[in-house]
Amino acid sequence: MARLVMKFGGTSVANIERIRNVAQHVKREVEAGNEVAVVVSAMSGKTNELVAWCADASKLYDKREYDAVVASGEQVTSGLLAIALQEIGIGARSWQGWQIPILTSDAHGSARIESIDGSGLAEGFARKEVAVIAGFQGIHEASGRLTTLGRGGSDTSAVAIAAAIKADRCDIYTDVDGVYTTDPRIVPKARRLDRVAFEEMLEMASLGAKVLQVRSVEVAMVHKVKTFVRSSFDDPANPMPGTLICDEEDIVEQQVVTGIAFSRDEAQLTLRRVSDKPGVAAAIFVPLAEANINVDMIIQVVSDDAKTTDITFTVPQADFERARALLEAKRDELGFASLQGANDVVKISAIGIGMRSHAGVAARAFKALAEKGINIRAITTSEIKFSVLIDAEYTELAVRTLHTLYGLDKA
Ligand code: ADP
Ligand code: ASP
Ligand code: MG
């Protein structure tokens, strides 16, 4: 007997027929003698709709009420799956985040899980009852208010619950049958990976591969949760194992580059002819940090006269206008000549632990992109990845070019 967490994403619970299919996957594990906690997302499209309703009701909505609204999608699917399980003779009950409770910080809209009391779930297992848990949501204890964990947060609910109840495994069921070398919807030649290292998965997720929420990978890594990504569309009677997220040591054949990720959620700002003196970078970036604006790539160019410099950097698209307004307000203090912005940019990244021991990996990409006529606006590198910022219109061409360049195309 094992203890399992099974998580089903939005497309897997998109309607009653699919919820019945999910119930069959759960039934298989229960009949194999396992204790099962299921975590469900809202039906696909539901969370977007709820978010849009909040924005429609008010431009400056109260984030606590936003959480009250958007957490409701998961309440619906948890109840429906419990009903579908009961219907086929499996004991089940739904759990909302606050009932468990899943305690979180008070950062409404992107709260962090602080602790989970697994005792109620364990009592349910003793009664031979499947726990069907609403993902994405928790409660802030001091205020008693509902919270949500950020978009894609049900992945994190699942992994954190697996850690809390000491599950033997956490299976993330989704609409693809594992983690691929890049988004299989963009590159048909993408290959499914049998295994991917925690560090690589962390980079892939934070650089745009939305198959797992970044925090879920962090939690899996810290608590050593054995996590698989697999398909809910496999035959429930005969499913494939999917991709295991594991320690680097457990990967036998290590490629130099494991995957290519891309993020469209980028915006570029350039300050022209800023006076080149000590403290100028601080004068720009400290206020942005204080406004909670995450700056990613930064390039500073010394100009000919050595008195002024150009500074280019990127921010998430949602913060673009705010960052622009903040800098415009400081135009006199910073003394720049002009502020330019671009929203139609994309960040393409290559990730691989093998980069640690191989030189010139990024240089090959620069050459290959140049040969396709793709101009690079900014570059960043670190130990196991590099990223380039390019015009959004070249996204697919660039991802495919790098995928082929690093030998990732399937035969
Ligand atoms: P769910 O609703 O199940 O949480 P998501 O839409 O959040 O599913 O994540 C699954 C999607 O992630 C896939 O449909 C795929 O398009 C996308 N994706 C992006 N990068 C990758 C990758 N490297 N491997 C697999 N899927 C990826
Ligand atoms: N329903 C939430 C979202 O779309 C959480 C999730 O699906 O993981 O972001
Ligand atoms: Mg998801």
**Within 6 Å (CB) of ligand 2, which residues are found?**
9-10, 41-42, 47, 73, 135-136, 151-155
| pLDDT at residue 411 greater than cutoff 80 | yes
127: tokens are 């009664």
CA distances from 45 to 70, 110, 182, 347 (A): 12, 19, 23, 25
Domain ranges of the chain: 3-249, 260-405
Mean residue pLDDT across the chain: 96
Average pLDDT over residues 363-370: 97
Residue 411 or residue 53, greater confidence: 53
301: tokens are 């160019």
| pLDDT at residue 278 greater than cutoff 90 | no
Whole-number pLDDT of residue 372: 97
Element (H, E) at 153: none
| pLDDT at residue 306 greater than cutoff 80 | no
Give yes or no for a contact between 25 and 12, defined as CB atoms under 8 angstroms apart.
Answer: no
Name the percent of the chain lying above pLDDT 70: 100
**pLDDT class of 305 with cuts at 50, 70, 90:** confident
Task: Indicate whether residue 217 lines ligand 1 (CB < 6 A).
Answer: no
Choice from 110, 136, 149, 159 to test ligand 2 binding pocket (greatest atom count within 8 A of CB) = 136
| pLDDT at residue 253 greater than cutoff 80 | no
What Rg do the C-alpha atoms of the chain give, in angstroms?
Answer: 23
| pLDDT at residue 148 greater than cutoff 90 | yes
> What is the bridge-based pairing of β-strands 35-40 and 113-116?
unpaired
Length of the chain: 411
Q: pLDDT by residue (tens digit) across 4-30? A: 999 999 999 999 999 999 999 999 999
Hey, whose CA ends up nearest to atom 27 of ligand 1?
A: 183
CA 151 to CA 70: how far, in whole Å? 10
Q: What does CATH list as the number for 3-249?
A: 3.40.1160.10
DSSP 9: -
Give yes or no for a contact between 172 and 163, defined as CB atoms under 8 angstroms apart.
Answer: no
Q: Report which of 199, 204, 203, 194 is spatially closest to residue 252, judged by C-alpha positions.
A: 194
| pLDDT at residue 259 greater than cutoff 80 | yes
* Superfamily the domain 260-405 falls into: VC0802-like (3.30.2130.10)
